[in-house]
Amino acid sequence: MLNEFKQFIMRGNAIDLAVGVVMGAVFTSIVKSIVTNLIGPIIGIFAGAVDLSSLKFSIGPAVFKYGAVLNQVINFIIVGFIIFLIIKAINKFFKKNEKKEDAEAESEVKLLTDIRAELKKSNQSTNKA
């Protein structure tokens, strides 16, 4: 059982997942800092409060902290946009590689077709003689 666990942990997928989780946590803290320290104050200028997380309203004893929700929505949009840009760059990179492979395959097919045509010509001229 210990050996199976060791094999599971040493697989690339488990290690990649662990690295992804750690990088995601660090990335989240960076985005949170950007929203809190840069974007929040800019929006706060228009909203009338510098710290968005302090925006709230009350109805009776219930307190609605909509500023904290705004911070999280902004975080989500920023993270989503950055992930979109990363995926777009990765897709662009792989499309370039696919185009190169397709061009190479097409040139090979053309070359093989030309060779076959030449062989047919030489075969026909040999049969006639």
Report the alpha-carbon distance of residue 13 to residue 29 in Å, rounded. Answer: 24
Please report the pLDDT score of residue 59 as a whole number.
92
Above 80 in pLDDT, residue 23? yes
Please report the pLDDT score of residue 37 as a whole number.
80
Are 24 and 86 in contact by the 8 Å Cβ rule? The answer is no
Helix, strand or coil, per DSSP, at residue 61: coil
Alpha helices in the chain (DSSP H): 2-10, 12-34, 40-47, 66-128
Q: Check if CATH label 1.10.1200.120 holds for domain 2-128.
A: yes
Select from 75, 92, 88 the least CA-distant residue to 27.
75
What are φ and ψ of residue 59, in 5° steps?
A: -130, 105
Q: Which residue has the higher pLDDT, 77 or 9?
A: 77
Please indicate, yes or no, whether the overall pTM of this predicted structure exceeds 0.75: no
Q: Where are the domains of the chain?
A: 2-128
Above 80 in pLDDT, residue 99? no
